[in-house]
Amino acid sequence: MSMAVLPWHLLDKLNTRMIQQNCWIICIFIILTSFYYTMRIDKQIIDQHNQSLAQKHKRAFDYVSQDIAGIEEIIDKLRKFQIGIPSWALGTGGTRFGRFGGKGEPGTLEQKIEDVGLLHALNASSGTISLHIPWDIPSDPDRIKEHAATFGLGFDAVNSNTFQDQKGQELSYKYGSLHHVDPKVRKQAVDHNIEVIKHGISLGSKAITVWLADGSSFPGQLNFREAFQNTLESLQEIYKHLPEDWKMFIEYKAFEPYFYSTTIGDWGQSLLLANKLGPKAYTLVDLGHHLPNANIEQIVSLLLMEGKLAGFHFNDSKYADDDLTAGAIKPYQLFLIFCELVDGMDARGIDHATGLGWMIDASHNLKDPLVDLLQSVEAIMIAYAQALLVDRDALREAQQNNDIVRAQEILQDTFRTDVRSIVAEARLRDGAALNPVALFNELDIRSKLVEERGSDTVATGL
Ligand code: RM4
Ligand code: MN
Ligand code: MN
């Protein structure tokens, strides 16, 4: 395993006097080596790990796959399916009561890319990174692109940020951005979004995600129609700057940071905007952005039917926008969502891997962010694999016959099938680890990152 850990073992061999005399040479040596060593996991280490689990894996895979017709096709689909990692989820988030910082967090965009590179080496399913501007401005985009390419990574949707005031910003977003009563504030927010598109173009992104905090906390604070119209006009300005092959993802959220109304509060409002904007505008579903118990699978199904589903921000929640690990609380809901996705994409001939934007949006207060992201990706892959297994013809027949029991049996039987070895087999064929979380822990990757980056680094973002 090669890593960006400084070569302390070499230094140990030098005696103290020599170290004192040559202090400056040693400092330069350390600085230079830290440029050249970037933590990467050797293929050999992954192979060894896979060897140690090979027999157990084979038993599980043979057992489950013998009953599955078209297993090879399913594995191919799993191998192609990639999930975008949010640059803002690589550090520790916080709650409004405080933040317990993690260690060895990526302090630069390069390091964030390296973190996603580690994930991708371990699971071969995290092939893109989604950047948030201005938290991650690529000052030298060509170099950043090259750096990402060395890990086999590309760039997913770029995200704008008009929910915070940045240092030195002329006008405040305290009362909103694209919906603001003051046209000067709206223009500032529009210009920011245009800037974000430019950054995205320089990196090869193909979409901008617009999420607005714009809303109100008290009845009477806003004129709803005016707020909506202002938002529409602002988005129309931004839309004009989308390149031909770009999409605009309009994310909705029912509440928070304001608690009485949100100007793009649900999928209806987002879809209304997307329809008025034109064919490049779509509705983005963040799983945590609904009112409790919303039937998200039904929303997804109708958005797909209308050809207006942008894609996803995956996470899970018990109460609100909890941003917990995907599948941690409601794995059956995640499976049902994927059932609608697979069914809806196949009905429209949409390529599963490239047709929609697949991204995680999570925040970590307790777990190591990298481990949490590995778990999220795994949960998403499991839900996708299960959805691919559903016997659609039988389900359709049951629906046509009003055979509720049969329909329920079909879905639950699939959900209760242990597909973990199928997902692992797909990873194995791409040279990734049979058990990414176990290997992350075995290699003690976080300690290596702390040695490399220190304990006090704080990732930009939330
Ligand atoms: C929001 C929303 C956005 C994300 C920000 C950081 O709640 O989910 O997608 O950009 O958080
Ligand atoms: Mn989101
Ligand atoms: Mn959110």
Instruction: List pLDDT tens digits, range 85-117.
Output: 999 999 998 888 988 888 999 999 999 999 999
Res 20 pLDDT > 70: no
pLDDT reported for residue 266: 98
- What is the percent of the chain where pLDDT is above 90? 87
Q: Which residue has the tokens 């928070």?
A: 256
- What is the percent of the chain where pLDDT is above 70? 92
- Note whether 232 and 195 are within 8 A (CB): no
Q: What is the mean pLDDT of the chain?
A: 93
State in Å: Cα 88 to ligand 2 middle: 11
User: What CA–CA distances, in Å, run from 122 to 127, 221, 405, 440?
Assistant: 11, 49, 40, 8
State in Å: Cα 86 to ligand 1 middle: 10
Which of 9-13, 170-174, 281-285, 325-329 has the lowest average pLDDT? 9-13
Instruction: List pLDDT tens digits, range 78-87.
Output: 999 999 999 9
Res 35 pLDDT > 80: no
- Note whether 145 and 153 are within 8 A (CB): no
Task: State the chain's maximal CA–CA distance in angstroms.
Answer: 87
Q: How far apart are CA 193 and CA 160, in angstroms?
A: 6
pLDDT reported for residue 288: 98
pLDDT reported for residue 13: 39
For residue 286 and ligand 1, the question of a CB distance below 6 A is answered with: yes
E runs forming strands in 121-272: 128-130, 154-155, 158-159, 207-211, 215-216, 247-251, 261-262
Identify the band that residue 460 occupies on the pLDDT scale cut at 50, 70 and 90: confident
Q: Which residue has the higher pLDDT, 332 or 37?
A: 332
For residue 320 and ligand 1, the question of a CB distance below 6 A is answered with: no
pLDDT reported for residue 18: 53
Q: Which residue has the tokens 């770029």?
A: 158
What residues does 156 pair with on adjacent strands?
none
pLDDT reported for residue 85: 98
Q: How far apart are CA 268 and CA 303, in angstroms?
A: 10
For residue 88 and ligand 1, the question of a CB distance below 6 A is answered with: yes
For residue 368 and ligand 1, the question of a CB distance below 6 A is answered with: no
Q: How far apart are CA 386 and CA 397, in angstroms?
A: 19
pLDDT reported for residue 25: 64
- Residue nearest (by alpha carbon) to ligand 1 atom 5: 211
Instruction: List pLDDT tens digits, range 153-186.
Output: 999 999 999 999 999 999 999 999 999 999 999 9
* Enclosing H/E stretch for 82: none
Instruction: List pLDDT tens digits, range 362-381.
Output: 999 999 999 999 999 999 99
Res 34 pLDDT > 50: no
Res 1 pLDDT > 70: no
For residue 290 and ligand 1, the question of a CB distance below 6 A is answered with: no
Q: Interhelix angle for 369-389 vs 404-415, to 10°?
A: 140
Instruction: List pLDDT tens digits, range 179-210.
Output: 999 999 999 999 999 999 999 999 999 999 99
Res 14 pLDDT > 50: no
pLDDT reported for residue 84: 98
Rounded to two decimals, the pTM is: 0.92
pLDDT reported for residue 23: 60
Q: How far apart are CA 38 and CA 453, in angstroms?
A: 11
Instruction: List pLDDT tens digits, range 254-295.
Output: 999 999 999 999 999 999 999 999 999 999 999 999 999 999
- Note whether 241 and 194 are within 8 A (CB): yes
| Nearest atom (ligand 1) to Cα of 462 | 6
Per DSSP bridges, beta strands 158-159 and 309-314 are unpaired
State in Å: Cα 211 to ligand 1 middle: 6
- Note whether 64 and 417 are within 8 A (CB): yes
pLDDT reported for residue 248: 99
For residue 314 and ligand 1, the question of a CB distance below 6 A is answered with: no
Per DSSP bridges, beta strands 357-360 and 128-130 are unpaired
Res 346 pLDDT > 90: yes
Res 38 pLDDT > 80: no
**Mean pLDDT of all residues in 122-146:** 98
State in Å: Cα 37 to ligand 3 middle: 35
